[in-house]
Amino acid sequence: MNAQDCDRADDDPEGDPSRAFLDTPLAPPRPVPSPTSAPDARQRIEVFRHTHFPDVGDDQWGDWQWQLQHRYRDLKGLSRILTLSDDELTTIQRIGGRLPVGITPYYASLMDPDDPSDPLRMTMVPVEAELVQGPGEADDPLGEDGHMVVPGLVHRYPDRVLFLVTNFCATYCRYCTRARLVGHTGEYHFNKAQYEKAIEYIAAHPEVRDVLLSGGDPLTMGDDRLEWLLERLRAIPHVEFLRIGTKVPLVLPQRVTEKLTSMLKRFHPLWMSVHVMHPNELTPEVAQACDRLSSAGIPLGSQTVLVRGVNDDVETMRRMVHGLLKIRVRPYYLYQCDPISGSAHLRTPIEKGLELVAGLRGFTTGYGVPQFVVDAPGGGGKIALQPTSVVGRDGDDVLLRNYEGNVFRYRDPVGA
């Protein structure tokens, strides 16, 4: 339906044949589709709850504040729920000033307690390799601090800014680009005076039409604070578009309450990038959280960091993107893991990302193929990479390779 069709329906003249359609009672609410992956997720969660929280009812378990208060943050907590490997155990003891550990009970329940190579566990539990700085690695590999125009506000691209609104996350990912920033200083939330400076900057720069709220994780903030920020940004006439980057719907889906989505939908156009790493994350709880967001009119796109041993094979990627499409999340970016300090064991060769994209394109729905990007070290911005499909030219024909590897001619006369 185009915009003109919408106008006609709104006029709704008496006797219009569409009237009968408009008077038809609405269909009952559609059930939230279950994601394709993690068929045993429900069972895993139940076993975990029964073992570790036998007296905790659904109200508490489903309360996002309760989940945050009961995060596993140290050796004592983690060794209660996981059979730690020697590597994990000694690293957690030594972690010191590095990126902290934090795992919600909900997210911990999705991990295999006995397998250190469980993909979700690998993204959250530190190992010794994290403590070793390799060549080419840096604490701020993207040079964000150099583009920080006021504290917390990064202005790197011409028409948009990155607004870091908190350093608090529900969980701490071992490959985090902002490991230098998140989780430190006692998980201090950025204050209003600092926000005001950023808002002043945005208001004084009419070229800024797009503001991305990130951090840390903006959805860990309380409704009131987030609403205040969105209201202030929405009041700036030249800000056309707001975005939130978050992992919360995956690791703390309880946070996506109806109260939150009712508030968020007042600030459209508001888009959201959800940080998804593996199909095992796509549980019924996550499906419901994403359904609430989508039903509030928030377009959802996924961002995935390519991590060795976690999601670096075509089958895992295919299960993930299929699961995402079923819950109305468009696979958007697949990121090459940034060379943060201590990330060599997590990073894959660039060719791996190209191989994954080649393994998806043509073999599945185009909407399910994310764009593979490298965020250029030093502040060069995102550079999109894709497997080459132009083989060359033969006279007036361009030779193109399709997804099966077959070469076809496309007539494209030189100088036409």
Chain contacts with ligand SF4 (rule: CB under 6 A)? 169, 172-173, 176, 178, 182, 215-217, 247, 275
C-alpha span between 381 and 146 (Å, rounded): 13
Neighbours of 44 (CB within 10 A): 17
270, 234 Cβ separation under 8 angstroms: no
Q: Return the H-helix or E-strand segment holding 52.
A: helix 41-52
Q: Among residues 32 and 289, whose Cβ is nearest to ligand SF4? A: 289
Q: Among residues 34 and 220, whose Cβ is nearest to ligand SF4? A: 220
Nearest approach, Cβ of residue 277 and ligand SF4 (Å)? 9
C-alpha span between 298 and 262 (Å, rounded): 11
Nearest approach, Cβ of residue 216 and ligand SF4 (Å)? 6
Nearest approach, Cβ of residue 95 and ligand SF4 (Å)? 14
Q: Among residues 182 and 276, whose Cβ is nearest to ligand SF4? A: 182
Nearest approach, Cβ of residue 91 and ligand SF4 (Å)? 17
Nearest approach, Cβ of residue 306 and ligand SF4 (Å)? 13
Whether the link from the prior residue into 269 is cis, omega within 30° of 0, is: yes
180, 215 Cβ separation under 8 angstroms: no
197, 190 Cβ separation under 8 angstroms: no
335, 304 Cβ separation under 8 angstroms: yes
Q: Among residues 152 and 215, whose Cβ is nearest to ligand SF4? A: 215
- The amino acid at residue 114 is D
Nearest approach, Cβ of residue 126 and ligand SF4 (Å)? 12
Q: In the numeric block, which tokens belong to residue 338?
A: 């940034």
Active site (catalytic) residues: 156-157, 160, 169, 173, 176, 178, 338, 375, 382
C-alpha span between 35 and 249 (Å, rounded): 14
- The amino acid at residue 371 is Q
φ/ψ of 243, rounded to 5, equals -135, 150
Q: Among residues 289 and 358, whose Cβ is nearest to ligand SF4? A: 289
Neighbours of 266 (CB within 10 A): 12
C-alpha span between 202 and 178 (Å, rounded): 22
Q: Among residues 32 and 219, whose Cβ is nearest to ligand SF4? A: 219
